[in-house]
């Protein structure tokens, strides 16, 4: 099983700041990597797939990069509605998720 490790576990930021979240795979997943946002009491929503392609309706402030084992989700200027938990998912070899990064208000 491919293990996905996200860092940091929690990130305290102020609105307007640039945010970078990391996701590392225990072996190469090529570019078969997605990012999701989950707010309390809600289902996850797809942000990025194919490591760098924004899903339908996702604002341009969200961007993804990386390939192989190292991936990054960047939020260029954090908005109030972006405070949430973010998960990465590899779908190269079955499916596994990272443990999540919580982005909270500083």
Least gap, CB of 28 to other proteins (angstroms):
12
Separation CA 50–CA 92 (nearest Å): 10
Least gap, CB of 101 to other proteins (angstroms):
11
Angle of CA points 31, 77, 102, to nearest 5°: 65
Separation CA 75–CA 64 (nearest Å): 9
Please report, as residue ranges, which positions from 28 to 47 form the binding site for other proteins (by CB under 8 A).
Answer: 30, 32, 34, 36, 42-46
Interface residues with other proteins (CB under 8 A) are: 1, 30, 32, 34, 36, 42-46, 49-50, 53, 55-56, 87, 89, 91-100
């Amino acid at each position: 099983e491919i293990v996905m490790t996200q860092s940091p576990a929690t990130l305290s930021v102020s609105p307007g700041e640039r945010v970078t979240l990391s996701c590392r795979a225990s072996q190469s997943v090529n570019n078969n990597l997605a990012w999701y946002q989950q707010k309390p009491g809600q289902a996850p929503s797809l942000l990025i797939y194919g490591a760098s392609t924004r899903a339908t309706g996702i604002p341009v402030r969200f961007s993804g990069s990386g390939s192989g084992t190292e991936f990054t989700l960047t939020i260029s200027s954090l908005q109030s509605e972006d405070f949430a938990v973010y998960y990465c998912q590899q779908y190269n070899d079955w499916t596994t998720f990272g443990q999540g990064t919580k982005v909270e208000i500083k």
